[in-house]
């Protein structure tokens, strides 16, 4: 029986799953017949898990000690209520109680979340709990997943509603916006994929533009250093981070630094105190002609990746965003040997060889559809020893 089930957001379940694995590196993650229900095997520190939900992009909730029912008809209701009643009685919990229910991946025919929540609330009332739907001491989560027909009910470690989630913030609201600005939910996911669980190590955003990665990493408390070759971008990203933190000087934000510098010469561009303290690189290179006019798109990325080795920790990882032609058939995830990848700049096979030469090992590839003539390839790679 699963000890903990993560419920992923619907924006990009495949990326959300990768983020979940990166944020729980000591647990195995397995899908529970749905792209949005993931079993987290092994021990979990519940307080750590609650913090992770707060700063993740793609995790909506984690249900602890869940009851899982494959819904096949009305009889299942009795089974669910009886198992959940047992759970409530044996919990030893006291205080107020509330059930939070939601539906994902479509409906389960004939099933109403609010009806089941009401029945469970009745059981809790008979067990001496007072009912509080705003901020109860004890929360049960009830998820109805239409894709696999499963109903999952367990103690909510934490739950972030759509309204509270970073996903509802928009790059267009910032004082310095350009069409290149990354969507906050993708930016946050990328910094978590590159950085893993929050620690003292830093994230590097060496082509920060309007500061998409910088802001998301900074807001969740990661140490982050950002650079850009263009002073206009350094000033604009600084304006954005001051706006996001609601303060006057970047120096007031302890975990954030922004400087003008060259991504292909990181050991000279970045202050020495950051050297070997950077465990993750998030890289969103220019889509058109790059500012480093003499370098091709590939060379710019290659030189940046090589330069990153001079300042990175030994086990660093990279998340790279590459513009591609939209896929003919929409997919969220691709294999490394996929023939469907058409980069806007150069050939995928050449790109793979370049990564290989630089000793970066591809761990995963995902696709985001942007519009009818643009997609994004999101590539996660880890570094191999150089010899």
Ligand X SMILES: C[S@@+](CC[C@H](N)C(=O)[O-])C[C@H]1O[C@@H](n2cnc3c(N)ncnc32)[C@H](O)[C@@H]1O
The residue with tokens 């630094």 is: 257
Binding residue (CB under 6 A) for ligand X from 262, 334, 355, 376: 262
Smallest separation (angstroms) from ligand X to the CB of 324: 14
Of 335, 349, 340, 325, nearest in space to 379 by CA: 335
Reduced to 3 DSSP states, what percent helix, strand and coil does the chain have, rounded to the nearest 5? 30, 30, 40
Smallest separation (angstroms) from ligand X to the CB of 107: 37
Phi-psi region of 93 (alpha: psi -120 to 50; beta: other; left: phi over 0): beta
- Residues 258 and 198 sit within 8 Å (Cβ to Cβ): no
Binding residue (CB under 6 A) for ligand X from 229, 244, 281, 320: 229
Residue 284 within binding range of ligand X, rule CB under 6 A: yes
C-beta closer to ligand X: residue 57 or 210: 210
Binding residue (CB under 6 A) for ligand X from 79, 230, 299, 340: 230
Residue 318 within binding range of ligand X, rule CB under 6 A: no
- Residues 332 and 377 sit within 8 Å (Cβ to Cβ): no
Q: How many CB atoms lie within 10 A of CB 112?
A: 13
Of 31, 15, 18, nearest in space to 148 by CA: 31
Tell me the pairing of strands 130-131 and 96-104. parallel
Binding residue (CB under 6 A) for ligand X from 203, 220, 233, 322: 233
d(CA 268, CA 318): 20
Smallest separation (angstroms) from ligand X to the CB of 223: 18
Stretch that binds ligand X, among 102-110, 122-130, 288-296, 333-341 (CB under 6 A): 288-296
Smallest separation (angstroms) from ligand X to the CB of 313: 21
Binding residue (CB under 6 A) for ligand X from 182, 244, 316, 358: 182
Which residues within the stretch 121-180 sit at the binding site for ligand X (CB under 6 A)?
180
Binding residue (CB under 6 A) for ligand X from 228, 256, 266, 376: 228
Return residues touching ligand X (CB under 6 A).
Answer: 180-182, 206-207, 209-210, 212-213, 227-230, 233, 262-264, 284-287, 290-292
């Amino acid at each position: 029986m699963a000890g903990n089930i993560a419920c992923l957001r619907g924006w990009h379940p495949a990326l959300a799953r990768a983020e979940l694995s990166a944020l729980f590196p000591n647990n195995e993650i397995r899908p529970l017949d749905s792209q949005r229900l993931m079993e987290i095997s092994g021990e979990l520190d519940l307080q750590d898990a609650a913090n992770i939900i707060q700063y993740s992009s793609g995790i909506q909730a984690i249900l602890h000690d869940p009851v899982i029912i494959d819904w096949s008809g009305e009889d299942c209701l009795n089974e669910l209520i009886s198992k959940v009643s047992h759970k409530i009685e044996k919990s030893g919990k006291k205080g107020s109680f509330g059930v939070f229910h939601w539906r994902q991946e479509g409906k389960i025919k004939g099933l109403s979340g609010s009806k089941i929540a009401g029945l469970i609330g009745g059981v809790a009332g008979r067990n001496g709990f007072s009912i509080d739907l705003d901020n109860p001491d004890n929360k049960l989560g009830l998820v109805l997943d239409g894709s696999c027909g499963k109903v999952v009910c367990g103690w909510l470690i934490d739950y972030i509603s759509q309204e509270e989630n970073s996903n509802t913030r928009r790059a267009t609201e910032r004082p310095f916006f350009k069409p290149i600005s990354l969507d906050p939910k993708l930016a946050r996911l990328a910094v978590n994929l590159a950085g893993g669980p929050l620690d003292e190590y830093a994230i590097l955003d060496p082509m920060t533009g309007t500061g998409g990665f910088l802001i998301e990493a900074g807001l969740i408390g990661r140490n982050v250093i950002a650079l850009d070759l263009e002073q206009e971008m350094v000033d604009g990203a600084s304006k954005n981070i001051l706006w996001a933190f609601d303060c006057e000087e970047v120096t007031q934000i302890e975990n954030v630094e922004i400087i003008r510098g060259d991504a292909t010469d990181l050991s000279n561009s970045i202050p020495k105190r950051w050297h070997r303290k950077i465990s993750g690189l998030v890289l969103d290179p220019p889509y058109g002609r790059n500012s480093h006019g003499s370098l091709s798109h590939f060379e710019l990325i290659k030189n940046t990746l090589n330069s990153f080795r001079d300042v990175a920790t030994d086990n660093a990882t990279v998340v790279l965003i590459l513009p591609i032609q939209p896929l003919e058939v929409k997919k969220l995830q691709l294999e490394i040997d996929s023939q469907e990848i058409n980069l806007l700049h150069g050939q995928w096979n050449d790109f793979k060889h370049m990564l290989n030469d630089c000793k970066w090992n591809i761990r995963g590839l995902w696709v985001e559809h942007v519009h009818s003539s643009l997609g994004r390839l999101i590539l996660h790679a880890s570094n191999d020893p150089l010899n």
